[in-house]
Amino acid sequence: MRRILITVALVAAGVGAYGAKRLYDRADEPHRGYPGAEVFVDIPTGTSTRDIGRQLVDAGVIRDERTYRIALWRSGVDRGLQAGEYRFSDPDSAIGVVDTLARGQVHLRPITFPEGLTRWEMAELFGQSAFGTAEEFLAASERVELIEALDPEATDLEGYLFPETYSLPRDATADDLVEAMVAQFERSFDDELRERAAARELSVREVVTLASLIQRETGLDEERPLVSAVYNNRLARRMPLQCDPTVIYALQLAGLYDGNLTRENLRFDSPYNTYVHPGLPPGPIAAPGATDLQAALEPADVSHLYFVSRNDGSHVFADTLRQHNRNVREYQVNYFRRRRASGR
């Protein structure tokens, strides 16, 4: 009888050990219990460890709460899970899921700002996203304290909101985004560029302003140093820059731009109108990219003073007014005459 009891006890112990090992191993088994291609789990700040487990189980990310507890015990991070929105799309083990939350690998949503946008245009893009409203972005874009060390004269962040794709958690605010954009500008306008600016006796504001004009005039990288040369040459000769985008910006500031630029507009009295006022405008007119900043400090070694659009995205450059007038006649006057004659 005693031998039978011992045998039964050993069998029970073996079964228990097997069951314990089975539970232990289950935390390593990939699981996917949700029907769609992906599932999002939003963990609010302050959620208890137990409630986090219930959310993960209810979402089908982890098999059951016992498996979740085993994974917590094995990982040793039972109080280190972080709040945020998480995206799951592939089978994962409970250990893997817990590790994702412990490292705070929240799902990031992208928002892209192309080069050459004004802060109003950026605000419109922001308002179309899930992050917030255009008004919130515009308010954040007036936080001049973010750029005070580089540009104490700034009255807003025009030109300093670096154009790029930013990946942010769902609960990011306009302030969070603007801070990231200014930080990226500071990384892009690095010590080397600042030293070049100082060598040319240009302030950061002057470089960014010139770069914004270059950006709005051409979308071709190979033309940026040429456009820079035209403006640098004109500044050296005290010639007005006569940059159309500055007039457009002036009209936008006044709420008068309707999408067309007329001869009368070129006489619009604004400090941003470089037809009326010599030198650079008082500040940037858009967000320049890295190549624009580079071009502003490295103009091509040419004597060009003029350029005009070829109407295909490129420009033709000239050293003299006579050459320029000939180019205007060919690429503007005659071009549009030919289009009208062909009925286009």
- Token pair for residue 149? 């060390």
Full DSSP string of 261-273: --TTGGG---TT-
Same domain assignment for residues 226 and 133? no
Is there a single domain that holds both residue 214 and residue 166? no
In a domain, 309, yes or no: no
The single-letter DSSP state of residue 213 is H
Contact 294, 210 (CB under 8 A): no
- Residue range(s) defining the domain that contains residue 79: 29-106
Low-confidence ranges of the chain (pLDDT < 50): 5-18
Residue 329 placed within a domain: no
- Residue 175's SS3 state is helix
Which residues does 252 contact at the CB level (< 8 Å), separation at least 6? 118, 120
- Residue 80 within any structural domain of the chain: yes
Q: Which of 106, 123, 156 is the last residue in one of the domains? A: 106
Domain final residue, candidates 106, 134, 149: 106
Which residues are 110's β-sheet partners? 167
Are residues 101 and 113 both part of a single domain?
no
Number of domains the chain contains? 3
Are 258 and 290 in the same domain?
A: yes
318 sits in which H/E element: strand 315-318
Predicted local confidence at residue 335, as pLDDT: 73
Task: Mark which of 136, 154, 188 sits at the end of a domain.
Answer: 188
Residues 85-120 pLDDT 10s: 999 999 999 999 999 999 999 999 999 999 999 999
- Looking up residue 36, the CATH number of its domain turns out to be 3.30.1490.480
For 286, the token pair is 């858009």
Burial class (CB in 10 A: 0-12, 13-18, 19+), 97: buried
Strands (E), 17-92: 39-43, 84-88
- Phi and psi at 16, nearest 5°, equal -65, -45
Is 118 contained in some domain? yes
Residue 138's pLDDT is: 98
Amino acid at 24: Y
Residues 221 and 298 in one domain: yes
